[in-house]
Structure 1
Amino acid sequence: MHRLIRHGAAVLVVGVLTAGVSWGTLAQERQVPDSAAEIKLSFAPIVKRVAPAVVNVHASRMVRRSPFFEDPFFRHFFGDHGFGAPERREQRSLGSGVIIDPQGIIVTNHHVIENASEIKVTLADRREFDCEVILQDERTDLAVLRIKDTNGSTLPYLKFADSDGVEVGDLVLAIGDPFGVGQTVTSGIVSALARTEVGISDYQFFIQTDAAINPGNSGGALIDMDGRLVGINTAIFSRSGGSNGIGFAIPSNMVQVVARSAESGGFVRLPWVGVRFQDVTPDIAEGLGLDRPRGALVVNVLDDSPGARAGLATGDLITTIDDVAIDDPSSLNYRLATKGIGGAARIGVIRAGRNYVATLQLAAAPETTPRDEVEIAGVSPLTGARVFNLSPAVAEELAYSGNPDGVIIHRIVAGTAAERAGLARGDVVLEVNGIRIDTTRTLERVCSERLRFWHVAIERDGQVIRTQFRS
């Protein structure tokens, strides 16, 4: 059985240097080696130039002891061995990162530093620095760090490239710290582009490479022949947990969106359409008279949303964004996200067999209802849940595709009743003890009571779950 593992590595797009030809010329004129002398050429010059900007990321976090330790049944069969262990213990993880600014701004994967209480980075020259998180975005699986004190040093860094210029067959190098053995370089090619059926993040649109990528390399760099950043590697597809030659990188155009967001406000704001899409299956394609499955099918349009103002309606098929073909909803979301807020996009639409072009304004999702964050206290099963009032803006941030109304959990505090109850980020609280939950203050008031039994209804992944808890 295959497993998808988030252990991406740094990747460098490079070419073969021929006599008298500059790196810049090769960026436009790709060619394969045609002599034994060319095959013997080394990647060492470009590795020496870019490797100092790839760092190792060390994240420490406190994790809670397994709830099995509190179960009398578990104790009966396995004894008390380990039951005197501390309630919480430190867990450490290793990853990679890329310096994108000489003042110490670093991009890595969100899953590398998620819930970390302490983050350090180690440079290729063995210097070590403490870091702080200035942005983390679960939807894109990206995070931006800042070195707290560079001691006056100007650090090596990488500039961004246009990842849309990458082509299948480009040579690549992977730089990272596999298994914690130290910085390592491997080579391969770009195997595929626009991979969307990967299941890593909400904005799926990945560069695939066969350069050897192993655990410990998440957050590394994808570099072109001019030493510019093309992507951040995130995962591998593997049977055993090691490299099988299928790795995935987040394109640099998406990385730039997140990096700019870190500069401007500390969270990622992406264009909001207010439309729910679905994939086009072979049966749907046949019914629409298409020669093959393609595009994103509109299944719902919210009133007074950018999609509604663009004239979109249920049953429309989106086929292009600014004349770039759209294969599925993931590629549509990626194309809109990398355009950013402001301006407009031309969207190609098929409606009832006829083609037309609509104009979509690229605006951020509005916070129509103040989120009014509340952390639930008391003795209810929701104690420790941090909740927001839903709005289009909150729904967009938490990747919630339902009706943007009500109360949603955006975080669960570790070690609390909400964690033990199995509640999760993105759960929408519908009812507690028969009372409809319309705002965070309603939920706070209901959960302030002291009861023996609690009846809770939540919505998760479009399904309503009703359960009962003892206090």
Structure 2
Amino acid sequence: MRFLSGLVLAVVLGTGTGFADTVPTDKMQMQLSFAPLVKKTAPAVVNVYAKTIQRVQGAGGPFDDPFFQQFFGRGQPRERVGNSLGSGVIVDKSGIIVTNNHVITGATDIRVALADKREFPAKLLLADEKTDLAVLRIDVGDEKLPILPFGNSDSLEVGDLVLAIGNPFGVGQTVTNGIVSALARTDVGASNYQSFIQTDAAINPGNSGGALVNMKGELVGINSMIYSRSGGSVGLGFSIPANLVSTVVQSAESGKKIVRPWMGGTFQVVNQDIADALGLDRPEGVLINNLDQLSPLREAGLQQGDVIMAMDGKSLENPQELNYLLGISHIGDSKLMEYRRGTTTKQVQIKLIAAPESVERQETSITGKNPLSGAVVVNLSPAVADELGMDTSAKGVVISGLQNGPARQFFIKGDIILEMNGAAIDTVDTLQRVVAQPSRGWVIGLLRGGQKVYFRLG
């Protein structure tokens, strides 16, 4: 029934007769099909197999039962091989493939199976957790692979016909059709740059990393996730826009790490109460909560309490949309910002910059007889915080890594150390002086996931 609806719509729009009830009137109209489009695009969609090594507690068998563990303990950790299956899209004839980062996270071996069943080992060029994208390369010699060219995802409109191509549940390459159900969906995934395309084309587990294709045969999105209580498709699928995918692929091909523009502030959604207080006709725009001293917005004259209404003519409804527009931009670009202060609307050009390294990192591995031994710590700056996926306004000393030592038992990457034994920790130098002092016990305060945590060790 869904396919028939699509055909009727195509007939109506193609003949210019307007929106009216109609049925196919001849054999040619009855034979309308997506088959030519599928033949053109499907060969560029591949299967991605990722092997991981997982450490699990216990030796296996009956002694993993909690009853026996009461008497014999939990046993030694053992390794177990895990496998994940996803899809990918060839975007360059040289063998460049894009997929979801969650498909290959922790993989020790990645293989790609082409539409013609041939398999190749894949090299990971770039894994970007912030966008949930990964870029792979396979070596096929001088062979020119089929590709899907990038389309302009910003030109999509709600109601546009699309195809989803991937390998759901491992059953083999599958094509489904639907429409663009919504655009700029936010707060539906783990990405920092949320502006998903929503579609009702059936997307299921295994489709992750597959293609969302428009009627021109262009890649307009990478299928990433679904909303489902059963685990199967219920018509709520979400794709990462191709314009964002393209910027990640460009970074991978250049061999450079991704450095995204930095606004240097914290922002929030304008709800009805805020809109009323600011005299806005409706809730819209992004409210500036505060700005770093080095923020390009501050330098251009914006201040706390201003509402950013649009960037380069594209209206903003929430901070995620602002992050998305920054995610598809480049350092050095100049952007026109429209903002409102009181009852006045203003415009100003902003030059995009990278997050600055405002303080020296002083990366240090802590040693000695203290609970932080084995932790790698650095001074926080906007640049360090951005690299670690943290709030770029965070200050102090952060754990950037964990090596062998007692710190692995008590701390995690991203912990901000606030104080030790009553001493405020503001720099790596201060922390080193504190841990060098002998102590029978340690009272430690830290910031973990935005929450203050205090505990005593020893």
- Please tell me whether the aligned partners of residues 285 and 310 of structure 2 are also in contact (alpha carbons under 8 angstroms): yes
Q: Secondary structure at the match of 1:253?
A: helix
2:93 pairs with one of 102, 106, 111: 102
Question: Residues 233 and 384 of structure 1: is their aligned pair in 2 closer, same or farther, counting only changes over 3 Å?
Answer: farther
1:354 pairs with one of 344, 356, 367: 344
Question: Residues 286 and 459 of structure 1: is their aligned pair in 2 closer, same or farther, counting only changes over 3 Å?
Answer: same
Q: Secondary structure at the match of 1:198?
A: coil
Q: Which piece of structure 1 moves more, 37-46 or 220-229?
A: 37-46
1:215 pairs with one of 205, 228, 239: 205
For 1:419-434, list aligned pairs within 5 A. Answer: 420-421=409-410, 423-434=411-422
For 1:263-342, list aligned pairs within 5 A. Answer: 263-342=253-332
- Please tell me whether the aligned partners of residues 15 and 30 of structure 1 are also in contact (alpha carbons under 8 angstroms): no
Q: Are 1:365 and 2:384 matched, yes or no?
A: no
Rounded to whole Å, the distance in 1 between the matches of 2:208 and 2:72 is 35
1:381 Cα deviation from its structure 2 partner: 5.0
Residue 119 of structure 1 corresponds to 110
Residue 390 of structure 1 corresponds to 380
Q: Which piece of structure 1 moves more, 371-380 or 182-191?
A: 371-380
What is the identity, as a one-letter code, of the residue corresponding to 2:453?
Answer: I
Residue 56 of structure 2 corresponds to 65
- Please tell me whether the aligned partners of residues 381 and 392 of structure 2 are also in contact (alpha carbons under 8 angstroms): no
Q: Which runs of 5+ in 2 are unaligned?
A: 1-5
Q: Secondary structure at the match of 2:277?
A: helix
1:405 pairs with one of 390, 395, 404: 395
Rounded to whole Å, the distance in 2 between the matches of 1:30 and 1:68 is 69
1:374 Cα deviation from its structure 2 partner: 4.8
1:239 Cα deviation from its structure 2 partner: 0.9
- Please tell me whether the aligned partners of residues 161 and 215 of structure 2 are also in contact (alpha carbons under 8 angstroms): no
What is the identity, as a one-letter code, of the residue corresponding to 2:381?
Answer: S
- Please tell me whether the aligned partners of residues 16 and 31 of structure 1 are also in contact (alpha carbons under 8 angstroms): no
1:429 Cα deviation from its structure 2 partner: 2.5
Q: Are 1:38 and 2:29 matched, yes or no?
A: yes
Q: Which runs of 5+ in 1 are unaligned?
A: 1-13, 20-24
- Please tell me whether the aligned partners of residues 17 and 41 of structure 1 are also in contact (alpha carbons under 8 angstroms): no
In the alignment of these two chains, the number of paired residues is 446
Question: Residues 193 and 141 of structure 1: is their aligned pair in 2 closer, same or farther, counting only changes over 3 Å?
Answer: same
1:153 Cα deviation from its structure 2 partner: 2.4
The two structures have a TM-score, normalised by structure 1, of 0.84
1:254 pairs with one of 244, 265, 273: 244
What is the identity, as a one-letter code, of the residue corresponding to 1:113?
Answer: I
- Please tell me whether the aligned partners of residues 188 and 212 of structure 1 are also in contact (alpha carbons under 8 angstroms): yes
* Residues 407-446 of structure 1: CA deviation (Å, up to 9, x unaligned): 3334557x9755543x444332323444544455765786
Rounded to whole Å, the distance in 2 between the matches of 1:15 and 1:387 is 60
The two structures have a TM-score, normalised by structure 2, of 0.86
1:398 Cα deviation from its structure 2 partner: 2.8
1:146 Cα deviation from its structure 2 partner: 1.7
Rounded to whole Å, the distance in 2 between the matches of 1:276 and 1:68 is 48
1:56 Cα deviation from its structure 2 partner: 1.1
Residue 452 of structure 2 corresponds to 464
Q: Which piece of structure 1 moves more, 129-138 or 160-169?
A: 129-138
What is the identity, as a one-letter code, of the residue corresponding to 1:242?
Answer: G
For 1:188-199, list aligned pairs within 5 A. Answer: 188-199=178-189
In our comparison, the structure showing a higher alpha carbon Rg is 2
What is the identity, as a one-letter code, of the residue corresponding to 1:240?
Answer: S
Q: Secondary structure at the match of 1:164?
A: helix
Rounded to whole Å, the distance in 2 between the matches of 1:375 and 1:16 is 66
- Please tell me whether the aligned partners of residues 33 and 39 of structure 1 are also in contact (alpha carbons under 8 angstroms): no
Q: Are 1:158 and 2:148 matched, yes or no?
A: yes
- Please tell me whether the aligned partners of residues 125 and 252 of structure 2 are also in contact (alpha carbons under 8 angstroms): yes
Q: Secondary structure at the match of 2:221?
A: strand
Rounded to whole Å, the distance in 1 between the matches of 2:19 and 2:211 is 23
1:98 Cα deviation from its structure 2 partner: 1.0
Identity %: 50
Q: Secondary structure at the match of 1:190?
A: strand
